[in-house]
Amino acid sequence: MNNKINTQPLISIVMSVFNGEKYLEDAIQSILNQTYKNWEFVIINDGSTDLTESIVQSYQNDHRIKYFYHKNIGLAKSLNRGIQLARGEYIARLDSDDRAFPERLQKQVDFFISNPDVVLLGSAYLQLDASAGMALSIINPPQDNLGCRKKLKLGHSVFHHSSVMFKRQIDGETIFYDASSIIAQYAEDIRLWITLCSKGNVSVLP
């Protein structure tokens, strides 16, 4: 695959951060270290009062990093603003306290291109104990479409939020988080997964 940087990014990484100074630099650096290069990084500062803004602004010499600030409105609404601002065909999620392996974006975009029926793609993830500086375990969600759907019907999230990539638009409709319901306050991801499941296949990379 050609990794030449284009004016139109194929992938938009979307992050909402609220007082995330502790791990934010590591998260940003993990995107800068990606082997795949045709991306933009949309970072929404959701009213942080710590050093979040100065950390992000230290990367403003990289034109692919787009920074926006607004007063605190909550995760779902903040992510929706990021999606509105995104230009990529695919949305990749990353939280400020997570890191992406260097080949994450390349593997996920390759999978989407090879499987055009898939609208949502998760992956296995490594759980870390930050205080001890060690890995605890590798979590492998169900990898087949049927297994994912069964888990969702039982109310399980299925995917680690920071591992997913999904199509920004399906049949001309932009996909947003449900920011209006009470459940969105603590399970905004599950509602999005259910919406995407109704529009196509889902899968997980091991």
pLDDT, residue 134, reads 46
Q: Is the pLDDT of residue 185 over 70?
A: no
Whole-model pTM? Answer: 0.87
Query: Is the pLDDT higher at 150 or at 5?
Result: 150
More confident: 179 or 124: 179
Range of the domain at 186: 11-205
DSSP symbol at 7: S
Q: Which of 13-27, 29-43, 133-147, 178-192 has the lowest mean pLDDT?
A: 133-147
- Classified as helix, coil or strand, 24 is helix
- The model's confidence at residue 167, banded by pLDDT at 50, 70 and 90, is very high
Which token pair is 144?
Answer: 């087949």
Structural domain total, the chain: 1
5: in domain: no
Of 105, 95, 111, 88, nearest to 162 (Cα)? 95
Helix axes 145-153, 184-197, angle to 10 degrees: 140
Contact indicator for 124, 205 with CB cutoff of 8 Å: yes
Residues 83, 53: Cα–Cα separation, whole Å: 20
Q: Kindly report the length of the chain.
A: 206
- How high is the mean pLDDT of the chain? 87
Q: Find the CATH number of the domain harbouring 104.
A: 3.90.550.10
